[in-house]
Amino acid sequence: MTADDVQVIGLTLGTAALSTLLTFPFGVALAWLLARKNWPGKSLVETVVALPLVMPPVATGLILLNLLGRRSPLGGFLQNVLGTEIVFTWKAVVAAMAVMSFPFLVRTVRLAFEEINPRLEQVARTLGASRTRVFLTITLPLAARGMVAGAVWAFARALGEFGATILVAGNIPGRTTVMSVAIYEDIQLGQDDHAYQLLAVSAVLAFAAILFSNQFSKWGGVK
Amino acid sequence: MKFQCRHLQLRQAGFLLQIDVELTGQVIGIFGSSGAGKTSLLEVIAGLRRPDSGVIAVDDRVLMDLSANLFLPPENRGVGYVPQDLALFPHLSVRKNLAYGHKPEAVPSGLNLAHVAEVLEIEPLLDRTIGQLSGGQKQRIAFARALLASPQLLLMDEPLASLDYELKLKIIPYLKRIRDEFKIPMLYVSHSPDEVIELCDQVIVLRGGKCLRTSRPDEIFEASTSMTLKPGIYDSSK
């Protein structure tokens, strides 16, 4: 394994972790709102969040490219006001991973919230607990396993992200090339042996993430 | 306790709860068959459900008066609520369940963990997890948890409904102990005449979301081992 490979693996792990960390609080908040509250526009938000699951990743990437490009209002604001360029940088990798993995996070955490018997929260309130205390001491601990599982699934999905990433971040060695893109490039160039090496690393990482998620569910089980 | 539930109206999918009663008793039964509105009424009293209109007061304490836009949240109502499924917190030990609503500095004498645990015979259970308890033990822990929050009113929603007859016979004495030892007013929901006769001094009979009548239990139930309603109770008006 070369230094370039280590760099690719490191960039993939780092961007996947960052995208999971950045989306986690929003994903948990949205999952709770979807599971526990009724509000105008809920169905629309549910649909938009689920879109990356069913749309071609390349199409999602194209939308991101248009949203974050210099000529878009958002991209222009980021470039001119904050001095930050997104497209074709590692930040675009994070953005693509975040958008593509967000539905996995929200769906898993939402299920965890929905599985909690609302009676537990109601009884806690009659025992004198404020809404905040109920959320922190009843809802969050009971949803913790689902939240960890959601984060792990989102991380694993981010590790394998390809379609949106290649469109919005490209394939710039040392800057935006992640494992999935490197594997694709190796196959294109006929470097199958190298592709299989990265494939093995990718499989081990995904396997470890899912194994951890499953084991955590067992350890954290309510007795 | 003087319990007032005035002009209460709760409309929910295909069901209308309309209650207007005032009665005095230490343990007031709310009796009726499934779908009569017993649990909905208890949820309104606990502050878990907001009705369309009405006033609820216990003695001089107004819990809700929607004409004055007063609706105390559940945490400020001073009620101890034991739902039918008990809703013990599965991720907390028995001791932590009991401590959840307990404020040792604010409790009246007698309502401390040691005394409640002694009365309900739960001392050996304190360090167990909820999953390690039997049905009857869970029942007593749920009673104790509600008591330790120092409620001014206990709300019991068919606490014995899921128990078999033998276990029910074992738990009823504990409910009597709660009634006699702690003297906290109680609203006791049940569809079982024998429980109402055993525990209550007044009863509200509900049917189809409306109060049919209020009276002493012995006036509406046959005083016999068969524990059946006297003929014509559901036909009579209040």
Ordered per-residue pLDDT tens for chain A, 223 residues? 788 999 999 999 999 999 999 999 999 999 999 999 999 999 999 999 999 999 999 999 999 999 998 888 888 888 888 888 899 999 999 999 999 999 999 999 999 999 999 999 999 999 999 999 999 999 999 999 999 999 999 999 999 999 999 999 999 999 999 999 999 999 999 999 999 999 999 999 989 988 888 887 776 554 3
On chain A, the residues whose CB falls within 8 A of the CB of B48 are: 122, 125-126
Cα-trace Rg, chain A: 20
Contact B40, B83 (CB under 8 A): no
- Rounded to two decimals, the ipTM of the complex is 0.88
Instruction: State whether residue A112 is helix, strand or coil.
Output: helix
List CB contacts of B15: < 8 A, sequence separation 6 or more: B35, B37, B40, B209
Tokens coding A17:
């972790």
Query: Domain tally for chain B?
Result: 1
Is the Cα dihedral B181, B182, B185, B190 positive or negative?
A: negative
- Torsion angle in degrees (nearest 10) through CA of B96, B141, B106, B100: 30
Per the structure, the complete domain to which residue B146 belongs is given by 24-48+74-220
Q: Does A172 touch chain B (CB under 8 A)?
A: no
Q: Which residue has the tokens 């709102």?
A: A33
Say whether residue B46 is in contact with chain A using an 8 A CB cutoff: yes
- Asked whether the beta carbons of residue B131 and residue A222 sit closer than 8 angstroms, the reply is yes
**Could you tell me which residues are beta bridge partners of residue B2?**
B24
**Identity of the amino acid at B234:** Y
Q: Are the CB atoms for B202 and B216 separated by under 8 Å?
A: yes
Please check whether residue B238 is in contact with residue B211, taking contact to mean a CB–CB distance below 8 angstroms.
Answer: yes
Could you tell me the two tokens for A129? Answer: 């607990």
Tell whether B94 is covered by a domain. yes
Asked whether the beta carbons of residue A142 and residue B90 sit closer than 8 angstroms, the reply is yes
Which residues of chain A does B155 touch, with a Cβ-Cβ cutoff of 8 Å?
126
Distance, CA of A146 to CA of A132 (rounded, Å):
20
The Cα of B80 is separated from the nearest Cα of chain A by a number of Å equal to 6
User: Does the residue B168 lie in any domain?
Assistant: yes
CATH number at residue B152: 3.40.50.300
The answer to whether residue A138 neighbours chain B at the CB level (below 8 Å) is yes
Whether the CB of A132 is below 8 Å from some CB of chain B: the reply is no
Q: CA torsion, points B158, B161, B165, B168, in degrees to nearest 10?
A: -40
Taking an 8 Å cut-off on Cβ atoms, the answer to whether A128 and B89 are in contact is: no
Q: Is there a domain that residue B67 lies in? A: no
Query: Does A2 reach chain B within 8 Å, measured CB to CB?
Result: no
Tokens of A192: 């199958």
The nearest CA of chain B is from the CA of A106 a distance in Å of 23
pLDDT by 10s per residue, chain B, length 238: 899 999 999 998 889 999 999 999 999 999 998 889 999 999 999 999 999 999 999 998 999 999 999 999 999 999 999 999 999 999 999 999 999 998 777 666 667 888 889 889 999 999 999 999 998 899 999 999 999 998 999 999 998 887 888 888 888 888 998 888 888 999 999 988 888 998 999 999 999 999 998 999 988 886 544 445 555 555 544 4
A172 φ, ψ to 5°?
-105, 110
CA distance A25 to chain B (A): 23
A3-218 CATH choice from 1.10.10.10, 3.40.50.300, 1.10.3720.10, 3.40.190.10: 1.10.3720.10
Q: Residues of B with CB below 8 A from A141's CB?
A: 91
How far CA A23 is from CA of A20, A140, B70, B133, in Å, comes to: 5, 17, 40, 40
Let me know if residue B98 belongs to a domain. Answer: yes
- Chain B residues with beta carbon closer than 8 angstroms to that of A117: 85, 87
B32 touches chain A (CB under 8 A): no
DSSP assignment letter at B180:
I
Query: How far does B4 lie from chain A, in Å, by closest CA?
Result: 20
